[in-house]
Structure formats: structure tokens, C-alpha cells
Amino acid sequence: MDGTKTAVALGMGVIAVGGVFFYMKQQKDKSEAEANLRMAQVLADAEADAEASAIMEAQEIAMATPLVPQYTAPSGYGIKVGVQNSRGLGLYKWYAVDSRDRTKFNASAGIGTQAIINGTMPCTFSDFYLDSNGKKGSFRCEEVIEGTYDIPNGSRMEY
């Protein structure tokens, strides 16, 4: 029986060693899988952060960019007239054309005509005020908000 006990003991030892190796392999596979899962999560988080940063940056740019109406400057202005702030009830609501330039202005200005005041301020004529002689004496610009019409004396407009 000594041979049988030895064979059984040897068989049990082989099974035990095989079990230990099997257990170690399972633990290694499990730890590799967990490491891969953690790495995938880290990469997903980094990608989400980058996407969120890009969205926030785009929103900041959009908020910082003022909404300005599209203005196309006419090429080669042909007519130049003097302009000033309107007086009386039109103060800060209209720009007035100098009286010496009104004949020229009446002959050439119309609704939608694009002009530039003092070389920097775009103006698209949107309305005219007729003076006591029935002539266009004052005008409004699409680009200017009512109540903010204010330019320096001696201003010039080209259109």
C-alpha cells in the first residue's frame, strides 16, 4: 500500500501545483483586464475633458465676438457732403446734411445707399426727414441705434 499512497500523494501534489498555477494565471488575467479597463476610463475621461474644453473655448469666442451687421463699403465714393448732428426734436435721432450740400444730397441719396462718415463709420440710409422746403435735410442709418446719433462738428460723409 505504500506504492498506492505514494501515487495518490504524488497525484494530489500535481493537482495542487496545477491549481496554484491556474489560480495565479486567473489573477494575472483579472489584473490585466482591470488595468486595461482603468486605462480605457482614463482615456475616455481625457477625451471628454478635451471636448468640454473645446466647447467652452468656442462659447467664449462666440460671446466675445460682437454682432456687427455686415457692411460692404462702396468702391470709389463719388459724392462728399458735410454732416452734423440734427437740432431740435431730431437731436440724437438723426444726422443732418449741411445746408450748402442739400441739393447734391437730394439728387443722389436714396434708401439703401451705403456711405461712410468720417472715413470710419458705415451708414446705410434707412429714412429721410424732409425740411420745410421738401428737401431731404436729415437721414438715419441702419447701423446706428436711435438716441445715439452723435458726431463731431465738421464731419464729412462720402457715398
**11, 38, 67 - which closes a domain:** 67
| Predicted TM-score (pTM) above 0.85 | no
Give the separation between CA 56 and CA 51, rounded to whole angstroms: 9
Q: Rounded to the nearest 5°, which phi and psi values hold at 57?
A: -65, -45
* Residue 75 included in any domain: no
Residue 65 DSSP one-character state = S
- Is residue 136 a contact partner of residue 130, using CB atoms and an 8 Å limit? yes
Task: Specify the number of domains making up the chain.
Answer: 2
Cβ density class 14-25: b for 16+ within 10 Å, e for less: eeeeeeeeeeee
Residue 128 structural domain: 80-158
15-47 pLDDT, tens digit each? 867 777 777 777 777 777 777 778 778 777 777
Same-domain status, 61 and 86 = no
